[in-house]
Structure 1
Amino acid sequence: MRRKTVSAFALMTSAALLLSACGGGGAGSEGEGGQQDSNPGAIGGQDEIFKRPAVDDIGEVAIAVEEGFTNYNNFTGATNNFASTMALSNVQPSPYIVDLVDGKVVIKVDGDLMESIKVTSNDPQVIEWKVRKEAVWSDGQPIDCKDFHLKWLAATSQARTTTSDGESASIFDATPTGYEDIEKLECADGNKTITTTFKKPYADYRGLFSQPGSDGLLPAHVLEQKTGIEDITKITPAQNDETVKKAAEFFTKGWNGWSADVALSGGPYVITSADLSDQTVLERNPKWWGNKGGPAKVILKTNRDAQSAAQQLQNKEVQAIAPQADNAVAQQLRGSDAYTVFASGGQTYEHIDLNMANPLFGQNKELREAFAICTPRTEIVEKLVQDVQPGAKPLGSLTFMPNEVGYEDHYSDLADGDAEAAKKVMEAGGWTLGGDNVYTKGEFRASFKLSHKTVTRRAQTVRLVQASCAKAGIEVIADEAADFNDKRLPASEFEAALFAWVGAPLKAGAFGNYAQKAKGGSANYNNYDSATVTDTWAKANSELDYEKRITLMNDVDKAMRADLASIPLFQHTDFTASSSEYGPVSYIGVAGGITWNLYAWQKK
């Protein structure tokens, strides 16, 4: 989704062990970067402190984005959506943030928000978080320990509810990853110092409460005001009464959608209007205590069609666009000096999930394997990806990207798009080819809908899958909807789903996507149920040795390859295009995509 004839393929991740540096927002550079290294740095090492630069006021900026902002609380299983992150990345406070330095994604301490973050002990692991005295929400109330406590409570509360399918689930619908390892959270210094003591080590602590872990802070005092709860820090994870239920009710519903009185800002921008579909407006936060951002006003305009978004850019209706990478658009805009194109292999990956709660898939592994075989992954990459990202190949892992240290291809043994090989698997599994050229087995018929959000490239992907798998006796029915990602996907209302996960440099952040639902899989939309994956990934989260963590994460991927509940297709090309008059415009998925460094944009 990204810069001027730039092929900065490798977004590297490592937390620099330097102190007190001002960043310029990450301009990027021509040419390819090195391999991405997801090692976040020494456990307890001193992280670099980032402060937003002083920049000029450039007035109003408009950006065309693929999908609109929908929910202020983007941290529950029901709301988890990248589209909202684009609006929230400069709104919700995050102790750790990311910066792009010479093509490398670097995790840093947000020095505007935090005075310091220190690991004061490794045995037991103890972390001290000091929030700056001047840090306040947009209503003037302090950002403090209450906000940290709310996140910990939501993630670890033992209060349960029963879902519509009879499963036990957290009433807060929040992933416990990392937070469940915190034994106690203590407040001091007028609630500006937070101390977390861990009952067992947690390697990716830089993702807690923070952007690198697809997380952030919410204004706990708003929840108190709306529920009548006097002090959120008095509610414990073990508590299960009407008070905690009131807190959970507001946490899961009170911050859904957008309302100015509850959707406060603790960052450089505040959302001033949002129709939750076509347009979201951000303006400078008048209570922000740091350097003011470059754009005084930012309008995010939804446009799902890449060609149409490019036309908006050419007509000067917008100054930047962030569609899914499109071959024709990339070639068209790269051919003009009027535009800057950023294209980079990032952390986002396209894949197909099979709903394991559907007996068609849950009871028929041979169908899952045959479908994986007939899916023409190489053809998809060659026709839909390589013009934007030359050299791209089918993705061979669900835990690492090709330009990350640790990447191993565990899917290369699949007979890519081979209909005859797929048919052999089906017939060996007892399936019979019918007169309509579709396999059947007892009550089952090898026919299902492949659902996705309305995106041109996804529709093209489905057509390629349909044509290839039809030759293998598997009928794939196209099913698309503009709101699929926002509504049906998190509700598991699909048979098979084509979508992308926005990955993160810290691997613990994706645990909730694949873990068993009862053990933290709050975003496990395809109902995958593997004790091996859950337990091995949990072990990796507690492993402080980086190399051992890589081995464990590859063991996780091997287990997922054996089950084939998910089929990796390709690493997304992070892609943006902008008027050459504006910059630095680039892209970091976990930090909000194109808006990650909005505060630093300038007009040349």
Structure 2
Amino acid sequence: MRRSKAVPAFALLACATLLVGACGSGNDGSAGQGPMQNSDPGKIGGQDELFKRPKVDDIGDIAITVDEGFHDYNNNLGASNNFANTTVLSNVQPSPYITDLIDGKFVIKIDGDLMESIKVTSTDPQVIEWKVNKAAVWSDGKPIDCDDFYLKWLAATSKATVKGEDGSEATIFDTSPTGYENIEKLECSDDDKTITTSFFKDKPFADYRALFSQPGGDSLLPAHVLEEKTGVADITKVLPAQNDETVKKVAEFYTKGWLGFDASVALSGGPYLIESSDLKDQTVVVRNPKWWGEKPSAAKVVLKTNTDAQSAAQQLQNKEVVVIAPQAEAAVAQQLRGDSAFAVYAAGGQTYEHVDFNMARPLFKNNKELRLAVAQCFDRDDLVEKLVKDVDENAKPLGSFTFMPNEVGYEDHYTDLGKGDVAASKKTLEDAGWKQGGDGIFTKGEYRASFKLGHKTVQRRADTVRILQDKCRQAGIEIVDDQAADFND
């Protein structure tokens, strides 16, 4: 999979290839002139720079190629969260914080079109004041306001649960509580344009920029639409502690009413709105006529899905599209670099390849040493060398789960793992009582060091699994390739 840090994807793609002059930073619009993000935004009065979208030239209609189609308008759910959704929604759903690019470094800034300010007003307890631009409205003309923030907080902190088939309980909103559960109360004022989040005295949240914002994997949804569809008069009167029919109605719409695409409920609070989508092969976004800021450059962007990188390159060469963002395939990079008609941009972005252990499975839950052994036998350098170096010669394995190498604050914390160290991997298992069987695979009691590694049907993913299988097999760990077209739909 690719983990998203939620950069406005098609905006950056257009900037990288077509509109370099329109992608500057700072108040004067010139690259590298604005201040970096506040290194200590948690102090009283601390806030980041406001970024307002600059005036840009009108380039009419364009088409671009993406490697996975848009699926769902609500990308805040565990069941739907997907970078393919972020690609579209980053320019549709409002986000108090956005990501800018300054001198090759991604910098978090306040969306100055959406927000007047975001300030720390107290540190004991931590209190953050969010002021929404008075002009900010949804595409139906209704204001973007405190109700939208409250809905996100409610969904993340609701105590109402549902039982799964295995008897376990989960939140009925299927939404991560991280950071939001630290908020003791969320208050509305100033005609609902000011939101005050007061954190529990002993639970400040340093990464408050991630709340309500796409850099944290979230975004705001139109609460008034949910109120209209559920008959709930005022969402701010529904409390996180409630577990009644009212909150169940809210959760029912929140988790199902915004799935897929329905123009009547999939409103925009950004520069573009979704005109149409077949949720697979093509999605069309157009300028939002209710957008109050500078109008975006393209009047219409058609996002065409093509999972075959070489075919996407052919589309570019045939001038069917103006931008492609394929998997990092060496053959495609070489093909396009050999054609003087095209500029190839290859650099680290805001997504990363990762393998996740399913901790609901006893094999991983009960055997920490197996998880470590896998991390030791994975050969990340070999992955980069074989799959990425021909595309970006400066690429290196990622060393952080929090920062990207092109972000302020990045440090490599994992230089000792992912080295394809067969001996270390085997020793880890042997020291924990695992025995190597006649087939070469380690076992321990009821457990066998064998598991499936699932991924979407994309050649580069299969190549990744093949490389990971090699050293791990030598270490007595069996990885079975398990790909599916609908892997993360």
TM-score (normalised: structure 2)? 0.87
Q: Cα–Cα, structure 1 residues 203 and 336, in superposed 2: closer, same or farther, change >3 Å?
A: same
2:72 aligns with 71
CA shift for structure 1 position 404: 5.2
CA shift for structure 1 position 253: 1.0
Q: Secondary structure at the match of 1:105?
A: strand
- Identity %, equivalent residues: 69
Q: Secondary structure at the match of 2:343?
A: strand
2:50 aligns with 49
Q: Cα–Cα, structure 1 residues 370 and 313, in superposed 2: closer, same or farther, change >3 Å?
A: same
Separation (CA, whole Å) in 2 of partners of 1:327 and 1:396: 23
Please tell me whether the aligned partners of residues 3 and 340 of structure 1 are also in contact (alpha carbons under 8 angstroms).
no
Separation (CA, whole Å) in 1 of partners of 2:425 and 2:180: 43
CA shift for structure 1 position 144: 1.3
Separation (CA, whole Å) in 1 of partners of 2:364 and 2:199: 39
Please tell me whether the aligned partners of residues 42 and 206 of structure 2 are also in contact (alpha carbons under 8 angstroms).
no
Query: Greater relative contact order: 1 or 2 (C-alpha under 8 angstroms, separation 6 or more)?
Result: 1
**Structure 2: runs of 5+ lacking an equivalent:** 1-8, 17-24
Please tell me whether the aligned partners of residues 38 and 404 of structure 1 are also in contact (alpha carbons under 8 angstroms).
no
CA shift for structure 1 position 41: 4.2
1:98 aligns with 99
1:166 aligns with 167
Q: Secondary structure at the match of 1:93?
A: coil
1:124 aligns with 125
Separation (CA, whole Å) in 2 of partners of 1:292 and 1:415: 46
Separation (CA, whole Å) in 2 of partners of 1:211 and 1:370: 34
RMSD, aligned CA = 2.8
1:216 aligns with 219
Amino acid at match of 2:147: K
Amino acid at match of 1:292: K
Separation (CA, whole Å) in 2 of partners of 1:279 and 1:268: 19
CA shift for structure 1 position 409: 4.5
Query: What pairs with 1:101-500 in structure 2 (closer than 5 Å)?
Result: 101-200=102-201, 201-402=204-405, 407=410, 409-414=412-417, 416-486=419-489
Amino acid at match of 1:197: S
**Structure 1: runs of 5+ lacking an equivalent:** 7-15, 30-35, 487-604
Amino acid at match of 1:231: D
Residues 321-346 of structure 1: CA distance to partner in whole angstroms, max 9, x if unpaired? 11222222223323444222222223
CA shift for structure 1 position 476: 1.9
Separation (CA, whole Å) in 2 of partners of 1:361 and 1:332: 42
Separation (CA, whole Å) in 2 of partners of 1:430 and 1:142: 62
Amino acid at match of 2:370: L
Amino acid at match of 1:315: N
Q: Cα–Cα, structure 1 residues 214 and 423, in superposed 2: closer, same or farther, change >3 Å?
A: closer
Separation (CA, whole Å) in 1 of partners of 2:13 and 2:89: 22
Separation (CA, whole Å) in 2 of partners of 1:117 and 1:292: 24
Residues 142-179 of structure 1: CA distance to partner in whole angstroms, max 9, x if unpaired? 11111111111111222222233333322212222222
Please tell me whether the aligned partners of residues 22 and 50 of structure 1 are also in contact (alpha carbons under 8 angstroms).
no
Please tell me whether the aligned partners of residues 373 and 416 of structure 1 are also in contact (alpha carbons under 8 angstroms).
yes
Please tell me whether the aligned partners of residues 449 and 479 of structure 1 are also in contact (alpha carbons under 8 angstroms).
yes
Separation (CA, whole Å) in 2 of partners of 1:291 and 1:408: 37
Q: Cα–Cα, structure 1 residues 280 and 238, in superposed 2: closer, same or farther, change >3 Å?
A: same
Q: Cα–Cα, structure 1 residues 47 and 433, in superposed 2: closer, same or farther, change >3 Å?
A: closer
Q: Cα–Cα, structure 1 residues 335 and 204, in superposed 2: closer, same or farther, change >3 Å?
A: same
Q: Cα–Cα, structure 1 residues 23 and 88, in superposed 2: closer, same or farther, change >3 Å?
A: farther
Separation (CA, whole Å) in 2 of partners of 1:415 and 1:217: 37
Residues 189-228 of structure 1: CA distance to partner in whole angstroms, max 9, x if unpaired? 3222222222243222222212222221100010001101
Q: Cα–Cα, structure 1 residues 471 and 385, in superposed 2: closer, same or farther, change >3 Å?
A: same
Please tell me whether the aligned partners of residues 207 and 213 of structure 1 are also in contact (alpha carbons under 8 angstroms).
yes
Please tell me whether the aligned partners of residues 451 and 478 of structure 2 are also in contact (alpha carbons under 8 angstroms).
yes
2:86 aligns with 85
Please tell me whether the aligned partners of residues 131 and 192 of structure 1 are also in contact (alpha carbons under 8 angstroms).
yes
Q: Secondary structure at the match of 2:62?
A: strand
Separation (CA, whole Å) in 2 of partners of 1:469 and 1:258: 42
CA shift for structure 1 position 230: 0.7
Q: Secondary structure at the match of 2:185?
A: strand
CA shift for structure 1 position 412: 3.6
Which stretch of structure 1 is more off in the superposition, 379-388 or 391-400? 391-400
Residues 249-285 of structure 1: CA distance to partner in whole angstroms, max 9, x if unpaired? 1111111111001100011111011111111110111
Please tell me whether the aligned partners of residues 23 and 50 of structure 1 are also in contact (alpha carbons under 8 angstroms).
no
Amino acid at match of 1:353: D
Please tell me whether the aligned partners of residues 376 and 419 of structure 2 are also in contact (alpha carbons under 8 angstroms).
yes
Q: Cα–Cα, structure 1 residues 435 and 38, in superposed 2: closer, same or farther, change >3 Å?
A: farther
Q: Secondary structure at the match of 2:134?
A: coil
Residues 519-561 of structure 1: CA distance to partner in whole angstroms, max 9, x if unpaired? xxxxxxxxxxxxxxxxxxxxxxxxxxxxxxxxxxxxxxxxxxx
Amino acid at match of 1:57: D
CA shift for structure 1 position 40: 6.2
Q: Secondary structure at the match of 2:372?
A: helix
Q: Cα–Cα, structure 1 residues 451 and 38, in superposed 2: closer, same or farther, change >3 Å?
A: farther
Please tell me whether the aligned partners of residues 13 and 325 of structure 2 are also in contact (alpha carbons under 8 angstroms).
no
Amino acid at match of 1:238: A
1:501 aligns with none
TM-score (normalised: structure 1)? 0.71
Please tell me whether the aligned partners of residues 452 and 481 of structure 1 are also in contact (alpha carbons under 8 angstroms).
yes
Please tell me whether the aligned partners of residues 128 and 193 of structure 1 are also in contact (alpha carbons under 8 angstroms).
yes
Residues 387-436 of structure 1: CA distance to partner in whole angstroms, max 9, x if unpaired? 22224333344344455565555544458334454444444444444443
Q: Cα–Cα, structure 1 residues 433 and 87, in superposed 2: closer, same or farther, change >3 Å?
A: same
Residues 415-473 of structure 1: CA distance to partner in whole angstroms, max 9, x if unpaired? 83344544444444444444433333333333221111122221111112223333333
Q: Secondary structure at the match of 2:71?
A: coil
Separation (CA, whole Å) in 1 of partners of 2:380 and 2:208: 35
Please tell me whether the aligned partners of residues 438 and 475 of structure 1 are also in contact (alpha carbons under 8 angstroms).
yes
Residues 120-152 of structure 1: CA distance to partner in whole angstroms, max 9, x if unpaired? 333333333222222211111111111111111
Runs of 4+ aligned structure 1 residues displaced above 6 Å come to 1-4
